[in-house]
Amino acid sequence: MREDNRKEYNLAELAELIGGRLVGRKDKVVRGVNTLPRAREDEVSFLANPRYEKFMSTTSAAAVIVGDDYTAQSAGPDIIKCKDPYFAFREVMVEFYGFRKHSFSGVSSSARIDPTAKLADDVVLAPFVTVAADAEIASGTVLYPGVFVGPRCKIGRDCVLYPNVVLYEGTILGDRVTIHAGSVIGEDGFGYATHQGKHEKIPQIGHVEIQDDVEIGACCTIDRATIGATVIGEGTKFSNLIAIGHGSRIGKNCLLVAQVGIAGSTTIGDFCSLAGQCGVVGHVNIGDGVRVGAQAGVTNDIREGMEVLGSPAVPLRQARKIYALLNQLPELRQMLKDLSSELTELKKQVEKLTNQEK
């Protein structure tokens, strides 16, 4: 280690740190990480996607973390072989850079805390945080400026709520939950009874429960249930701009990418992934391990383990056939018109011959 606190390792040390096997010079020094095209001679990179293999012959990286099955080219960088190169690269990132350090400490004098709220001694409240009546916040949690914690909310240990996060009343967060700036948890669900032409609001008396190790991106919204709970399962991760309807239940260790929209009373199993801008109608069930492609529209139940794409969403193999035909539609249309014209002409000829025989 250098004395200026900037970490550095030789490749042998780095390979040992991530449980990899080095093919190259042991004493080469690494001081950081970068992508294959941008890496310098003292930085390490990784190859986890075959489409980036073309950069292996031109990268300046000190070494590249690759999979166990990678076959080294005759000319190229030193490599560190690992079972899971992407995760190994993650471990290197954590070792070199760690995670964001919070710049706040203690409880700001401008924070507003209801006398009935219960806070652990080491909770951090930045300026202009509001904690309402009967809220509970456990040890190690950090609330950034402008956070609002509504009445009867419960926040677990080591949570981080970034600026202007809003928790409506009764929201429950487990331990190690991270919610990024501008997200709103527990707002009223979109519930109305249309009567005599008017949309009459239905009281939303449920709540939201977010389980341990969930991360919610910026500007997401999670509606409270009309009755009962909207639940986000343990270990699930949201990107930004995601909307979850009232009474929905998202399983454990799911991944939801930007602009996903889930309508109310939908159930999604464990280990599912929903790509960007896909939408799911209400009252459907999605099984464990389902993968939904970008911009897909889910209108029916999906069995566990399926991959779907398209709007309406269909099995991936069928969707690929459909999309393969789309570019041919102008030619197919013209072909159909030509065939129709030929058929019309043939009918005229047949009719003419029939009339002659009479």
Tens digit of pLDDT for each residue in 289-310? Answer: 999 999 999 999 999 999 999 9
- Give the pLDDT of residue 3: 40
Whole-number percent of the chain with pLDDT over 90 = 83
* Pair 178, 92 in one domain: no
In a domain, 34, yes or no: yes
Say how many C-beta atoms besides its own lie within 10 A of residue 49's C-beta.
Answer: 9
Closest of 148, 143, 107 to residue 130, by C-alpha: 148
Catalytic (active site) residue 246: yes
Selecting among 180, 195, 246, 283, the annotated active-site residue is 246
Residue pair 268/251 in contact (Cβ under 8 Å)? The answer is yes
Q: Judge whether residue 5 has pLDDT over 80.
A: no
pLDDT tens across 125-139, in order?
Answer: 999 999 999 999 999
* Pair 188, 236 in one domain: yes
Whole-number percent of the chain with pLDDT over 70 = 97
pLDDT tens across 182-220, in order?
Answer: 999 999 999 999 999 999 999 999 999 999 999 999 999
CATH number where 31 lies: 3.40.1390.10
In a domain, 192, yes or no: yes
- Cross-strand partners of 29: 10
* Pair 268, 119 in one domain: yes
CA distance 209 to 154: 9
Q: What domain range includes position 341?
A: 330-358
Place 73 in a pLDDT band, splitting at 50, 70 and 90: low
Preceding omega of 312 cis (within 30 degrees of 0): yes
In a domain, 2, yes or no: no
CATH number where 304 lies: 2.160.10.10
Q: State both tokens at 284.
A: 């459907």
- Give the pLDDT of residue 326: 84
Burial of 192 (0-12, 13-18, 19+ CB in 10 A): exposed
Q: Judge whether residue 339 has pLDDT over 80.
A: yes
In a domain, 105, yes or no: no
* Pair 49, 183 in one domain: no
Which single residue is written with the structure tokens 């939904």?
Answer: 292
DSSP labels, 281-319: -TT-EE-TT-EE-TT-EE-S-B-TT-EEETTTTEEHHHH
Residue pair 227/209 in contact (Cβ under 8 Å)? The answer is no
Q: Judge whether residue 2 has pLDDT over 50.
A: no
* Domains identified in the chain, total number: 3
In a domain, 206, yes or no: yes
* Pair 274, 346 in one domain: no
pTM for this one?
Answer: 0.88
CA distance 243 to 262: 6
Q: Which amino acid is at 313?
A: A
Mean pLDDT of 312-340: 89
Q: Judge whether residue 4 has pLDDT over 70.
A: no
* Pair 81, 119 in one domain: no
* Pair 313, 340 in one domain: no
Q: In whole numbers, what is the pLDDT of the chain averaged over residues? A: 94
Instruction: Report helix, strand or coil for 250.
Output: strand
Helices marked H in the chain — which ranges? 11-18, 85-97, 316-326, 329-357
Helices marked H in 76-216 — which ranges? 85-97
Residue pair 302/286 in contact (Cβ under 8 Å)? The answer is yes
* Pair 253, 118 in one domain: yes
pLDDT tens across 305-319, in order?
Answer: 999 999 999 998 898
- Give the pLDDT of residue 255: 98
Mean pLDDT of 251-255: 98
Place 74 in a pLDDT band, splitting at 50, 70 and 90: low
In a domain, 106, yes or no: no
In a domain, 56, yes or no: yes
Which single residue is written with the structure tokens 């080469």?
Answer: 28
In a domain, 102, yes or no: no
